[in-house]
Amino acid sequence: MSPCPCGRADYAACCGRYHAGLGAPDAESLMRSRYSAFVLGLPDYLLATWHPSTRPSALDLDPGLRWLGLDIKKSTGAGDAGHATVAFVARSRHGGGPAHRQHELSRFVREDGRWFYLDGDVR
């Protein structure tokens, strides 16, 4: 059993199944799986779960960035809603530098039964 980077359960039973192709059932699960994808260096997954209207053409992940943890503050619009938001704090550290806290309110949209990251406001 390997712990999931998002802070929940075992990776295979949590974000690993989404990374393997299963669609996330709600925006919070997608947010957690995207955080785990940053931790594990999975840019293809990040691009695939990014809405085409806001998705960059490429994504270069910084190999010197170490992710330290995720704290979901609030999630709205779960279930059958077509739009949702997730407020979170992600902690990281670059090299031997000080830890950084990224506060973000992310927006998600569901199309054809799949959730996508749309954009976010970093505070």
pLDDT by residue (tens digit) across 47-56?
A: 999 999 999 9
Surface-to-core class of residue 98, CB atoms within 10 Å of its CB (0-12 exposed, 13-18 middle, 19+ buried): exposed
Q: What is the pTM of this model?
A: 0.94
pLDDT tens for residues 67-115? 999 999 999 985 567 999 999 999 999 988 999 999 999 999 999 999 9
SS3 31: helix
Is the pLDDT at 4 greater than 70? The verdict is yes
Report the alpha-carbon distance of residue 115 to residue 95 in Å, rounded.
33
pLDDT score recorded for residue 78: 59
Which of 7-11, 14-18, 79-83, 92-96 is least confident?
79-83
What does the domain layout of the chain look like in residue ranges? 11-122
Report the alpha-carbon distance of residue 61 to residue 59 in Å, rounded.
6
Which CATH code is given to the segment(s) 11-122? 3.10.450.50
SS3 119: strand
Tokens 């691009």 found at: 47
